[in-house]
Amino acid sequence: MSTAHVRDVTVTISLERRTHESHHDNMSVAHYFAFSLAIIILGGWCFVWFMHILAIIYGKYRLHHPIPPPSPEDLQGVSIIKPLVGVDPNLYFNLESFFTTVYPSFELLFCLQDESDPALMVVKALMEKYPKVDAKIFIGVKYVGPNGKVNNMCKAYEAAKYDLIVISDSSILMNPDTLMDMMSFMKPDVGLVLQMPYSCNRKGFAAVYEKVYFGTFQSRNCLSANSVGINCSTGMSCLFRKDVLEKSGGLAPLGKYLAEDYFISENIRKEGYKTVLCSQPAQQNSGHYSMSHFHQRLIRWSQLRISLLPHLILFEPLSECMLMGVVASWAAEYIFGISSMGFFLMHVLVWFLFDYTLITCVENGPLPFSKFEFLVAWMLREVLSIWLTIQSHKTSIVQWRHKKYKVLWGGTIEEIV
C-alpha cells in the first residue's frame, strides 16, 4: 500500500472520528438542555401545586370565619362610594342592600355622570324609602384622566366626611353585616380591606360558568397571593384609609390608569400598610350576563394584567391546568419514563378535585348547581383559557362600557375617540 493511500485512509478515519465526536457533543448539549428544561418545568409544576394547596388552606382559614368586631365606641364612620352608569335589572336590589346595612355610622355617596342617567330615579326612590339613611347624590364628573370611573367618583371622594372609604361597584349585593365584617379586619397596620370577587346564584349556564371561574381560577390566585402578601386587589368592593391614599395624591392621579384599584392598593402598601381579605366574598349580582359578555371581561382583565406585569405573558398560561399538564407530562416522561398520557390524566383529575374543594370553600357549603354542571363549566373554562389569552394579545385596545382605550405598558391608558 502506498504512502499516499495510507495518508488518505488516516485522514478519512480522522474526519469520521471528528464528525462522530461533534455529533456526540451536539447530542450531549441537546440532552442537557432538554434535561434542564424538564427540571425547570417540574419545579414550576410543583410550585403551582403548592400555590393551589395554599389557596385551599388559606381559604378555609380566612373565608366565612369573621373575627370579633371592634367595640362600638371604636367603630369609625365609613363613606361608601357607589359609581353608577345606567340601569341594570338588579340595580334596585343591589343598591337597597346598602341602605339596609347594619352599622353605627355610614354614608352612601352615589355618583352619576349626568341627570339623564336612569339610575338617578332608582337612587331617589330608595332615598325616599329609607329617609333615615345618610345618602347623597353627586351629578357630573371631574375630569382627572381617561378613566371614566375615577372621574365619576372624584366629587364624592373629595366630599366624603369620613376617613374610611368603601368603593363598591353597582353590581355588588351587600349582606347587612358585610361592612361590619370588613371593619373587623381594619387593624392599625392595615390600610385596605378587600372582598374577594365571587358571584351570586343566578339562573342559566352563563351564571354557572361565571361562578366557577371566580370560585376556582380567581379564588386560587387571590387567596394564594394574599396569603403571602402579594397585591391581588380588585375594585369591586374594598375599604381603605383615605388619609393614607392622600399621601400619594389621593384618587385623582389614578385617572390615567384603567386598573385604578391595583394602584390604590399599591400606593397604600408603599406607605407601609397591609392589604388583607375579609371573610365575606363580594357578591356580584349583575342582571346582564352571558358567555360572550363574560369572555370580554376576561380578555380585558388579561390585557390589564399583562400591561402591569409583563412576566405574566409567559407565567399566566403556564399556571393553567391544561397547558401546565401538557408540558409537565413531557417532562415527567423525559426524566422518569412515566407515561405522559397517564401523568396528564392524573394531573387533570387531581386539579379538578382541588378546584371543586376550593369552590365549596368559597361557597361555604354545597354548590347551588349539580356536579355535572360544574364539570362542564370547569372543562369549558380550562379549555378556553388559552384561546382567551391569545385573544388578549391580538390588540392593545380595551372596550370598557361605552368607551375604548389603548392600554400602554405600565397600565396607563389613552382614550380612543
283-326 pLDDT, tens digit per residue, is 999 998 899 999 999 988 888 888 887 777 778 888 899 999 99
pLDDT tens figures, 352-397? 999 999 999 999 999 999 999 999 999 999 999 989 988 888 888 8
- For residue 7, pLDDT over 70 is answered with no
The amino acid at residue 33 is: F
For residue 300, the tally of other CB atoms under 10 A from its CB is 18
Segment among 10-19, 273-282, 314-323, 339-348 with least mean pLDDT: 10-19
Region 248-263 average pLDDT:
92
pLDDT at 122: 96
- For residue 17, pLDDT over 60 is answered with no
pLDDT at 303: 86
For residue 207, the tally of other CB atoms under 10 A from its CB is 20
Q: CB neighbours of 257 closer than 8 A, spacing ≥ 6?
A: 145, 147, 263, 411, 412, 413
| List 88, 169, 181, 261, catalytic entry | 261
pLDDT tens figures, 127-183? 999 999 999 999 999 999 999 999 999 999 999 999 999 999 999 999 999 999 999
Domains of the chain (ranges; CATH) run 67-210+231-299 (3.90.550.10)
Q: Model's pTM, two decimal places?
A: 0.90
Contact status, residue 395 vs residue 93, Cβ threshold 8 Å: no
How large a percentage of the chain has pLDDT more than 90? 72
Question: Is 117 annotated in the active site?
Answer: no
- For residue 13, pLDDT over 50 is answered with no
Label residue 14 by pLDDT band (50, 70, 90). Answer: low
